[in-house]
Structure formats: structure tokens, C-alpha cells
Amino acid sequence: MINGDLQQSNISPIDIIKDFQSIENLPTHIAIIMDGNGRWAEERNMPRIEGHKAGIAAIQPLVDSVINSSIQHLTLYAFSTENWNRPKSEVDGLMGLLEKAIFKDASTLHQKNIKLNYIGNTTRLSANLQSLIKKSLTLTQNNSGVNCNIALDYGGREEIIQAIKNIIDDNISSKDINEDLINRYLYTANIPDPDLIIRTAGEQRISNFLPWQSVYSEYYSTETFWPEFKPRHLLDAMRSYSKRKRKYGKL
């Protein structure tokens, strides 16, 4: 991974859009591990839930910044299967924030032609949250703009295990199993593999995020906590990606 942050703090949204459009070799699918909400809050002597609030608020500007670029897919790691192990009060608070965000922001994203998708085992979520997810999917299903994929109660190992179970249940012969077949049984069926995976808050691990899909993804790490991750930081990641040569095992 490469660490880096764009130092300019006074770039206007219009300039950022122009900069995105000027970069050659942009990825078409970016996935982001949104890390550091709790630490951001703790450094400010605030409750961790305030960090999650700030983290959710950071999403909309980022989506806006990629609308007019060649980026077609944006996947955000919102809640992992392991996150259930956090204190119940924090989990309950985060779930409440997600309900409010989906209820409030789905119509805004729809107006911007964003298509929402959710990957993960959403059956463990509350009935109200599941209902909101279904409504947001229905609302945005015919949109043709950026595909915004929310990884919610997502775990890569669980995804692969569930795919294997479904293949067995469908009585598919072992001789017919190949990469294309497995891809069709994953949560991410019909979603291309990520070209670039960004992780905030300085961590250097993937944390059970898209292990099958990321075998040839480029990685980028920034010390910036997620609540402070702005479109200009995304632009910095894009510039780093544009300079790389992807070989896929070839010379």
C-alpha cells in the first residue's frame, strides 16, 4: 500500500471534478474500507457514536465527486460480520444511524441518478432496516448513474461459504465449478472486481473485505480518519492509481 494525502485544503468542488476528468487511467470500481470513526471521536473526547455520525456525513460529498467521472462502481464497507462483536450500545447506535441515513438519503441519491445495492447477509438486520433497504433498492433500481454498493453485515469468508452451500443445494456437479460459476453465486454477482481498494486510518489489512474479488486490486492506505476523508483525498488516491501498471501476473 502507498500512504499519501493531498495537501491542498482549499480546492473547490468544481476544481476537484475538473481534476478527476483530467486524470487518465481512472479505475472504474473503487472500494473503500471506511475506518477510524471511533478513533476520530476519541481524539476529540467525544462518544464513539459521534464518530459514526461524522462518518456517515462524509459519504455524500464523496459520491457527489465521482458522479461525472468514469468511476462506475463505488463500494463502501459500512458494517462487517465481526462488528456484531462490539458493545451492544455501539452496535444499536450505529444501526439507528444507518436507518436514519437510508431513510433520509435514498431519495437524494435517487435524484442524482445513483443506483443503490447492498451486499452482505441483510437477514440479520432489524425488520425496519430491511424494509428501508428494500424501499431504497426499488426506488433506485432503474437509475443509470454510479452504482453505490453498501457492504452491510458483510464478511468475505461467510460470502464464500454461503456460495458453496448454494452451489451444493443447486446440485451442481464439481466438474462444472469454475471461477465464473462462483462469481455468479457471490453477493457481488454482476459487479466487476474492484480496481482500487482504499483504507483510511492508516491500517494495512483488508479485514475480511472482498477477499475473492480483490486478488488483483490495487491498494491505497491513508492515515486520514474516515470522517475527515474528503474528495481531495480521493483525488490523491486516483493520482496514485493512475501511475501504476497492473500486470495481472504477466511481465
Q: Which residues are catalytic?
A: 35, 83
Q: Using the 8-state DSSP alphabet, how is residue 248 labeled?
A: T
From the CB of residue 1, how many other CB atoms can be counted at a distance below 10 Å? Answer: 16
Between CA 47 and CA 49 the distance in angstroms is 5
Between CA 94 and CA 84 the distance in angstroms is 11
Between CA 63 and CA 109 the distance in angstroms is 9
The one-letter amino acid at 66: V
The DSSP string of 165-199 is HHHHHTT--GGG--HHHHHHHSTTTTSPPPSEEEE
Q: Look at phi and psi of residue 5 and say left if phi exceeds 0, alpha if psi is from -120 to 50, else beta.
A: beta
